[in-house]
Amino acid sequence: MSPILTITDLHKSFGDLEVLKGIDMTMQKGDVVSLIGSSGSGKTTLLRCVNLLEDFERGSIELDGEAIGYRHEGSERRRLSERHIARQRAMTGMAFQQFNLFPHMTAIRNVMLGLTKTKKMAKDEAYAIAEKWLERVGMIERRDHFPGQLSGGQQQRVAIARAIAMNPRIMLFDEVTSALDPELVKEVLAVVRDLADDGMTMLLVTHEMRFARDVSSKVVFMHHGRIHEEGPPEQIFGAPETDRLRGFLANSEM
């Protein structure tokens, strides 16, 4: 089976600061991979590169066999057109730490926007799909509420529905519970777990170690822009091989 996501020798710098120093990673359909590591290790940047929210200087990312963001003409590397990149971005779904719902639209209109504008769906078709996903994340009764009328956990669930309604090949979760009050974390994690159980391919950055352990097929520990250690969750959490990972886990809540 060919991989859904192939990252090869990915390098990314912000000015003089190199944040990703050569990342290699592959994901198969249905894989759930958690990126863990201390802040500044590059895990969020890696996720944002896959969604093309960041450009990168070297290496390549292939999504379902298609190189994203850049094309090569001989030895020259060119950024794809804005329109092409927009289309490729829609192949991945992203949930953000700060939800980023559109405050001037109701929950269901938030979910419908990408369907009607990017996928050019008719309104009623988009409405039906949006309803289906809001139902799935338990937000169907609040479909006509504005983001400002919802709790953080509810907003995040709508944001996840908005991303996943686009039918992405892979879902990216960027610390989706970090901005939530502790009592709201559970409802969001339940939604993510539900999607994982359903066979959704997911790449997530998380600080919830217990959750990463339960839900992941693979855990990747990043340190200083490199993959420091990776493996199945039992191995990463049960028998970490490097001192650095042991140190990191000792400082994390389990």
CB of 47 to another protein, least distance (A): 11
Identify which of residues 82 and 243 has a Cβ nearer to another protein in the complex: 82
| The two three-digit tokens of residue 181, written as one number | 């009050």
User: Which residues of the shown chain bind another protein in the complex (CB under 8 A)?
Assistant: 51-53, 82-83, 86-87, 89-90, 92-94, 96, 98, 100-104, 113-114, 117-119, 145-146, 148-149, 159, 162-163, 166
Work out how close the CB of 103 gets to another protein at its nearest, in angstroms, rounded to a whole number. 5
With a CB cutoff of 8 Å and minimum separation 6, the contacts of 216 are: 32, 33, 34, 233
Give me the residue label for tokens 């369907």: 115
Distance of closest approach, residue 253 Cβ to another protein, in angstroms = 27
Q: At its nearest, how many Å lie between another protein and the CB of residue 86?
A: 5
Of 73 and 82, the one with the shorter C-beta distance to another protein is 82
Nearer to another protein, 110 or 223 (CB): 110
Query: Under a CB-based contact definition with an 8 Å cutoff, are residues 96 and 133 in contact?
Result: no
Q: How many CB atoms lie within 10 A of CB 4?
A: 20
What tokens were used for 193? 């777990």
Q: Where are the beta strands (DSSP E) in 41-169?
A: 58-63, 66-67, 70-73, 76-79, 92-95
Q: How far is the CB of 229 from another protein (least distance, A)?
A: 29
Longest dimension (CA), the chain: 56
Smaller CB distance to another protein: residue 126 or 245? Answer: 126
Toward another protein, which CB reaches closer, 86 or 122?
86
The answer to whether 20 and 42 are in contact (CB under 8 A) is yes
Task: Using the minimum distance from each CB to another protein, give the nearer residue, 53 or 249.
Answer: 53
Tell me the HSE value of 63 on the side-chain side, using a 13 A CA sphere.
Answer: 23
Nearest approach, Cβ of 166 to another protein (angstroms)? 6
Q: Least separation, in Å, of the C-beta of 195 and another protein?
A: 17
| Residue with Cβ nearer another protein (93 or 233) | 93
Dihedral angle computed from the Cα positions of residues 175, 181, 185 and 187, in that order, rounded to the nearest 10 degrees: -130
Is residue 19 within a helix (H) or strand (E), and if so which, with residue range?
strand 17-27
Tokens of 7: 């990252």
